[in-house]
Amino acid sequence: MVDQKKFALFLATPDSEFVKKAYGGYHNVFVETFGDEGEHWDSFRVVEGEFPDEKDLDKYDGFVISGSSHDSFENDPWILKLCEIVKKLDEMKKKVLGICFGHQIIARVRGGTVGRARKGPELKLGNITIVKDAITPGSYFGNEIPDSIAIIKLHQDEVLVLPEGAKVLAYSDKYEVEMFSIEDHLFCIQGHPEYNKEILFEIVDRVLRLGFIKQEMADAAKATMDGKGADRKYLETICKNFLKGRVPAN
């Protein structure tokens, strides 16, 4: 019998009422995007100080770090604890997929610099340009590598200086580091492969209601999805290939 693959999700954000009602929580959103039948997924609410014991880290085949409304460069106890765990996972060469806040945390742990986005926040569906020369054909990106990928973006911070040994895999007109990898075990994405139009629109409405953005920005964010969608299938495939060590067939 094949051993059941086990994955751990580090949730750096609480569930919104909408996500709880529509999907039963972010755990389900991530597992639906990155999980496969027969796998076991555990969630740890790291934002609330919930972490696995270090002795249990080895039983997992891979890890995913979610986005967060918190700044990746802050020194809250839970953020420092998360950095410690990620450092340990890096030493163990465990596969870690970092999304948005998670992407920045991995850069921080490896000695890069993260901070406020120099060209301002982003809240939209946007295109990122793939650095084809940095990607080995037949790697987790597959054999047909597109020139660009449409992805939902929602962030006010960015990776300002890449860690040593990191390879930029994608960039955009506003951000130099949209995707990067380090060796074969760390893969980081500034955008949100797991988000769909409904999740984006609900977040836009919520941050507008809370006064964090103006109506003009909210309207512009929604307009980016007029008749368009993220390349969710492709993003899902490359993330799964990475986490599970799959090499696509020719």
At residue 137, what is the residue type? P
Active-site residue, 192 included:
yes
Q: Secondary structure of the chain: what % helix, strand, coil (to 5)?
A: 35, 25, 40
In angstroms, rounded to a whole number, what is the distance separating the alpha carbons of residues 26 and 206? Answer: 17
Active-site residue, 83 included:
no
Residue of 27, 100, 155, 185 with catalytic role: 100
In angstroms, rounded to a whole number, what is the distance separating the alpha carbons of residues 221 and 217? Answer: 6
Residue of 103, 188, 192, 239 with catalytic role: 192
In angstroms, rounded to a whole number, what is the distance separating the alpha carbons of residues 107 and 157? Answer: 12
Tell me the CA distances in angstroms from 79 to 44, 72, 102, 170, one per residue in order: 13, 7, 11, 26
Tell me the CA distances in angstroms from 152 to 7, 126, 164, 196, one per residue in order: 24, 6, 27, 8
Residue of 158, 185, 194, 239 with catalytic role: 194
The residues annotated as belonging to the active site are 100, 192, 194
